[in-house]
Structure 1
């Protein structure tokens, strides 16, 4: 019985041994695969410097190196580790051709020709006017033929390559004011300005003697009519970031110069629409002879400054009419005129409830109240205008008309309380919970989610550093975040030598741009179905988180990618985060854009459905030899004024004229006429001179064809400009052409090279 009872025990023991062995083998395999997976996840693929992601060996290539691997053969492992049947990449790639060279400075929504269709009153023609669907271009905007990688910051603050922005006009027009100088093959920015002949640094020191610029209280500033943004450039060393803006055509390429220097700037104008920024955004606003009529239109423009100025913020004014008793003769205005203008500005500021903080020599400073308790009371008692706006979305800044009413501040509990909440000083402000979040005004976001967002972006930027090694090393300066959300990406880069243009889509369900400004960063509203208000080649790094998921059903994402290419500098980098399905569509387009790109895994590992597309724009420039030379085009003799062109191309492209405008501006218009004659039949006048009075020596017969940009010589016929550097030709009547008068009175010949 004992033997029989023991037999089952032996059989049971063998079975148990096999089970334990099986379990141990499975566990060992799991551990092995886990370790391998973890190792793979901690060594993300990186671009190899030997790869073809940068085609110009002479440029500072933003190549990415493999982390912890000596093998270059396996470095480019950008394949997403997933299986999907949604690969929609076409069998043939649609290659985008380069645009003509005359598009090298194309700004779609600030095109001069399109602007002329709109009224000039209140500068409406200088506002955003974007092309319609039938006007969109499907080509790649080229860089100038000798384009070079810009200087690194901080050297870029003082220097820029002439070949990158081949315009000498500003250096001559503003030579006395010391804005910009030509120094061999480069521009030099001495830091001068119209109202700071001793330099921007000394001018800022004068301001600092009146209000503190160094204690962290003032972090965000706005400069209206910025010139080449020297004020903003020199404020950066005081940890103040400035949103500088100026119109497209006040001075040649001034905003382009600012961005080439690595200084934040946008194309913009104070006209009829609100500025594209939220309410209570800036600690300080500045105007140094910005030529904005602050006293006009019932103080409308100063009312808009009040909207974007933070409670307790400062408005600084220098130039006319401030200190008019000293400068009135140089300004060529009467004392009475200047005094009346300053009195009007003082009155507008008083009606806005501002207080005159100080006026000393060339500077006048006003301060916005910390709350509206007294302001509201004064309206009740005296019916003072402007009134407080009612039912107004104070933050709305995208295609919204300015209003002649005061934007209301958040309610407070007492006269000493700051409306909207007190902000931390910089740099603590960057990571402190913004008042808009702590007060519960951002739906779905509280303090805990804000902290989680900061932690997430810190992890993501750490992942980016492993992929893009030049990121923390000064290779990138101008950075754009196309969907900034709470500004976490910019905050994670705060220690790097970069600045970030934080963009919040205008149609976003959650308006977070005010939060971004409360963190001490800058940004703007934007609809990515339209072009951005900047010049080509103005950003080194563009980051797009979920942008294409937002817009794929609203407009053709091809044009969003072409706009990104326009804004991106040669050898600049793009980071696009989105679902794998969306990135597949995006990659199918970018493969035809002269970008080298690959899709890599999410920082959390290969099983996350969100992926990252990293791309580098290759170096290429326009080929000037392929451009048609039309400057000596003859006019068909049978055409007369009013005749249908009937397919005849009479457009002149005048690259030579651009270089001649600078020295032409020094001479009276009558003496320029002979120099501008390319043919007896055609008289050319540069756009820079169209505002001058009509000279008596201008030929008035039908045989002379004058070219002007704005129709001011309409009595000679009709002329319509076709864009920067392109002018239409007035048609001549039948008969022999006559020589324009004054051909023998030439005073000088402008050299095309300067």
Structure 2
């Protein structure tokens, strides 16, 4: 009776089903193995069939052979070049000779001798003027006679070899301002400046108290009239990269010192041509006694700063006329003259719809608006500069002159 119980019957049925599944799966495995072995045993016939189905000419494949790789030997790889160009070793190579050593400081498009031929109004003669075709030098500009490899960063921020920039004029003329010092065979850059005698580091800390320099909102800066670019050198430690520029003048190309220090810099001046940068390229613009007449020419230079500043970007001014009530005697200017200049700068900033953020001690900060909705409405009060839609604000090469107009910020091209 026990063997005929329903429980025993269900156990037998379950075993039978499991056995059936095992046999079925094993049979499928054997079948697939046989099929796979059969396919690999006749590759040429399969290749011929596939070519025939594709209406191809199998005669071109008559030489096809199949050699299955041996598992015991590695496949030989061909690394030889099969495409070679013919080089004519018999042809002579035109070697460009070096220029005379008197040209070691020659900058083709910033030649002071050539610049004297141009208009002196608005300092146009100091702008970029490249040589004509018949004036081109067909020789290589030599390095100074004892030039050596510059110091590596970050040591280069503080030191440069004297032989690489053999000029002591700045160390004498700017000795009180602590721009640069001569120490044996090298220059040392203490980080001082005309408006930051305590050093660029402390000066940047003062700016950081007025606007945020460490939250990532300011990443790029342009420093006008940069001296030896100490501001740009010390901004790097705050993850802000700056482009510094200054004209080539009696200081023997201050930019040369900046480049030897490893700081991005270029010879340039704000005269009549646009800066060679697209619109909204910088988060911050800076001028520390850069001697640019911001209030003149209908505010054209501030308008150019407005072009390269991003919406919401900052313009920082220190030096004349800021804090003129304290410094007017040292600047050897009258109080009336300095007050008029600051009032004129304030007026241009208002016409540009800039907001004055703060003025504290020797620093004054303005901010470009994030959009121009309110600025468009203000044109009823301020007739100039006009707000332009069609002007190409990104065109910034040397042949383009500055214009007295505001490049409109729209919602479609807003960059924050």
Fold match (TM-score > 0.5) = yes
Which residue of the other structure, out of 55, 67, 71, is the alignment partner of 1:24? 67
Does 2:403 match 1:403? yes
Cα distance in structure 2, aligned partners of 1:211 and 1:17: 78
Separation of aligned partners in 1, 2:225 and 2:118: 21
RCO (CA 8 Å, sep 6+): is it higher in 1 or 2? 1
Partner Cα separation in structure 1 for residue 352 and residue 190 of structure 2: 37
Structure-2 residue corresponding to 1:420: 414
Residue 83 of structure 1: how far off its partner (Å): 2.1
> Match for residue 83 of structure 2?
82
CA apart distance, 1:105: 1.2
Look up the SS of the partner of 1:357 in the other structure: strand
- Alpha-carbon separation, structure 1, partners of 2:302 and 2:251: 23
**Structure 1 residue 358 and structure 2 residue 345: aligned?**
no
CA distances 1:83-120 after superposition (whole Å, capped 9, x unpaired): 235x4777111121111111111110000011011011
Deviations 1:255-286 (A, max 9, x none): 00000000000111000000000001100000
Deviation at 1:81, TM superposition (A): 6.2
1:221-274 deviation line (CA, Å, top 9, x unaligned): 000000000000000000000010001125222100000000000111000000
Matches within 5 A, 1:242-261: 242-261=242-261
**Offset from partner CA, 1:486-511 (integer Å, 9 cap, x none):** xxxxxxxxxxxxxxxxxxxxxxxxxx
- The whole-number CA distance in structure 1 between the counterparts of 2:90 and 2:105 is 32
RMSD: 2.3
Kept in 2, the 8 Å contact 1:281–1:310? The answer is yes
8 Å Cα contact 1:394-1:408 kept in structure 2:
no
Q: Which runs of structure 2 are paired with 1:574-585 in the superposition (5 Å)?
A: none
How far, CA to CA, are the matches of 1:234 and 1:112 in structure 2?
31
1:88–1:242 distance in 2 versus 1, CA, 3 Å:
farther
Residues 250 and 301 of structure 1: CA distance in aligned 2, closer, same or farther (over 3 Å): farther
- In structure 1, the residue matched to 2:238 is 238
Distance 1:18 1:266 in 2: 68
Equivalent residue, structure 1, for 2:178: 178
Structure-2 change in CA distance of 1:89 and 1:362 (3 Å) = farther
Q: Over residues 475-531 of structure 1, what are the superposed CA-to-partner deviations in whole Å (9 max), with x where a residue is unaligned?
A: xxxxxxxxxxxxxxxxxxxxxxxxxxxxxxxxxxxxxxxxxxxxxxxxxxxxxxxxx
Residue of structure 2 in register with 1:200 after alignment? 200
Q: Give the corresponding residue for 2:349.
A: 349
User: Which residue matches 1:103?
Assistant: 103
Query: 1:192, 1:421 → 2: CA distance?
Result: 34
User: How far, CA to CA, are the matches of 2:231 and 2:263 in structure 1?
Assistant: 10
Q: 1:88 to 1:318 in 2, by over 3 A?
A: farther
Deviations, residues 125-179 of structure 1 (Å, cap 9, x unaligned): 0111101111111111111121111000000000000000100011111111100
Contact 1:179/1:228 (8 A) holds in 2: yes
The 1-side partners of 2:299 and 2:82 are apart by 60
Q: Following the alignment from structure 1 to structure 2, what is the Cα–Cα distance between the partners of residues 383 and 231? A: 35
Q: Does the 8 A contact of 1:270 with 1:301 survive in 2?
A: yes
Deviations 1:670-701 (A, max 9, x none): xxxxxxxxxxxxxxxxxxxxxxxxxxxxxxxx
Paired with 2:180 and 2:150, the residues of 1 have a C-alpha distance of 17
SS at match of 1:302: helix
Which secondary structure does the structure 1 equivalent of 2:387 belong to?
A: coil
- The structure having more radius of gyration, on CA atoms, is 2
Worse overlay, 389-398 or 292-301: 389-398
Shift of 1:385: 1.1
Counterpart mapping for 1:380-459 below 5 A: 381-382=380-381, 384-398=383-397, 399-411=399-411, 420-422=414-416
Task: Quote the residue 2:117 is aligned against.
Answer: 117
Counterparts of 2:211 and 2:389 in 1: how far apart (Å)? 33
The number of equivalent residue pairs is: 356
> Aligned partners of 2:43, 2:213: CA distance in 1, in Å?
77
The 1:185–1:376 alpha-carbon spacing in structure 2 relative to 1, beyond 3 Å, is same
Aligned pair in 2 of structure 1 residues 17, 278: CA closer, same or farther (>3 Å)? closer
How high is the TM-score relative to the length of structure 2? 0.81
Secondary structure of 1:102's counterpart equals helix
| Residue in 2 that maps onto 1:322 | 322
Shift of 1:321: 0.3
Deviation of 1:377 after TM superposition, in Å, equals 1.3
Q: Please give the alpha-carbon distance, in whole angstroms, between the structure 2 residues aligned to 1:113 and 1:166.
A: 21
Provide closer, same or farther for how the CA distance between residues 339 and 27 of structure 1 changes in structure 2, counting only shifts above 3 A.
farther
- Asked if residue 313 in structure 1 is aligned to residue 313 in structure 2, the reply is yes
Whole-angstrom distance in 2 between the partners of 1:294 and 1:312: 20
Alignment correspondent of 2:134: 134
Query: Contact 1:180/1:187 (CA < 8 Å) preserved in 2?
Result: yes
Q: Once the two structures are superposed, what CA deviation does each residue of 1:558-609 show, in whole Å capped at 9, x if it has no partner? A: xxxxxxxxxxxxxxxxxxxxxxxxxxxxxxxxxxxxxxxxxxxxxxxxxxxx
SS in 2 for 1:182: strand
Aligned to 1:211: 211
The structural deviation recorded for 1:25 is: 5.7
Say if 1:393 and 1:90 are closer, same or farther in 2 by CA, change over 3 A: farther
CA change 1:27–1:334 in 2 (3 A) is farther
* Structure 1 residues 18 and 251, CA gap change in structure 2 (3 angstroms): closer
Alpha-carbon shift at residue 27 of structure 1 (Å): 8.9
Residue in 2 aligned with 1:221? 221
- In structure 2, relative to structure 1, the CA distance for the partners of 1:243 and 1:17 (3 Å cut) is closer
Please state how far the C-alpha of 1:211 moved relative to its aligned partner. Answer: 0.5
Report if aligned partners of 2:323, 2:361 keep a CA contact under 8 Å in 1.
yes
1:33–1:395 distance in 2 versus 1, CA, 3 Å: farther
Alignment CA distance shift 1:27-1:128 (3 Å): farther
Aligned partners of 1:81 and 1:375: how far apart in 2?
A: 66
- Give the direction of change, closer, same or farther, for the CA distance of 1:23–1:349 in structure 2 (3 Å limit): same
Matches within 5 A, 1:267-666: 267-379=267-379, 381-382=380-381, 384-398=383-397, 399-411=399-411, 420-422=414-416
SS of 2:407's equivalent in the other structure is coil
Q: Corresponding residue for 1:724?
A: none
Which secondary structure state, in structure 2, belongs to the residue aligned with residue 396 of structure 1?
coil
Q: Which runs of 5+ in 2 are unaligned?
A: 1-40, 46-63
Q: What stretches of structure 1 of length at least 5 have no aligned partner? A: 1-15, 41-79, 413-418, 423-754
